[in-house]
Amino acid sequence: MYRTETSEQVSPDRRRLLAAAGIGDTMMNRRTLIGAAAASAALPLLSQVASAQTSLKTKNVVFVHGLFADGSSWSKVIARLQRKGVNCTSVQNPLTSLDEASEAARRAIALQPGPTVLVGHSFSGMIVTEVGVDPKVTALVYVAARAPDAGEDYTALAKTYPTPPASAGVVFNDDWGQLTEEAFLRDFAGDLPREEALVLYAVQQPFKKSLTTGKTTNAAWRSKPTFYAVSTQDRTINPDLERFMAKRMGAKTIEIESSHLSLISHPEVVTNLILKALAV
């Protein structure tokens, strides 16, 4: 049996707690009081969650992936952002030409319900640079990504830096290229557990040779807030090239001790960078 308490026996602090929980000044038992206390204790946590969500000025993110990958490469980052109430869309790039890949990203942006942050990894930095001029896009995030200027020959720019090891691991079957298993595990996903890297290798999408010959006509980073995550142990894009591009853009830059796949090996750090872009 629970001992009942009248309103006269309830302390002023408890009375305030019960009022906040919507419980009237009536006969109450201990079970009622415990339930009310639990409801009251949950209020600060709910308030924190609501505060975290309202601090984000933008609630939509469109992700684009690069070579040797597909849209699922963003899964770990997406899960973290979704827990914070962010609407996420990961584009499946056709990897056939820059024009077709850019059009796929434009379609995804058009479907967003409001302002959007555009995030790209690796080759898809070309796409971010090209389509990020869309009025819906509020900020750009580059993760170990290409970031050319308008009309710039990225291949020529990259040749001004030492060639990264992964380049030697690209093999072509007619017009379609992909990384060998050895190069993928060592030079693309070098800081991931072997079993996880092998799964990613299995879903690797081949790219058409013509994809790498396209040049951007826009440089969205010249007019949009820009963020860049440099991978310091990158063997796919030279880290010093990444630093150069980030500095040239005036991007808010972080460095991650990571392989080319920081979005998978360090998803929390990448997520936090995207949250900063969502807050501008």
Per-residue pLDDT tens over the stretch 177-228: 999 999 999 999 999 999 999 999 999 999 999 999 999 999 999 999 999 9
Cα distances (angstroms) measured from residue 10 to each of 13, 41, 129, 237: 8, 18, 64, 67
- Look up residue 263 and give its two tokens: 């979005």
Residue ranges per domain, the chain? 4-51, 55-278
| pTM score, whole prediction | 0.81
The answer to whether the Cα torsion of 174, 210, 66, 145 is positive or negative is: positive
Q: Is the pLDDT of residue 75 over 70?
A: yes
8 Å CB contact between 145 and 238:
no
Cα distances (angstroms) measured from residue 24 to each of 6, 10, 31, 36, 221: 12, 12, 15, 11, 58
Grade residue 155 by pLDDT with cuts at 50, 70 and 90.
very high
Q: Which of 126, 156, 130 is nearest to 142 (CA)?
A: 126
8 Å CB contact between 207 and 214:
no
Q: Strand 226-231's sheet: what is its strand order?
A: 87-91, 60-64, 116-121, 137-143, 226-231, 252-256
CATH of domain 55-278: 3.40.50.1820
11-34 per-position pLDDT tens digit: 555 455 444 444 444 334 444 433
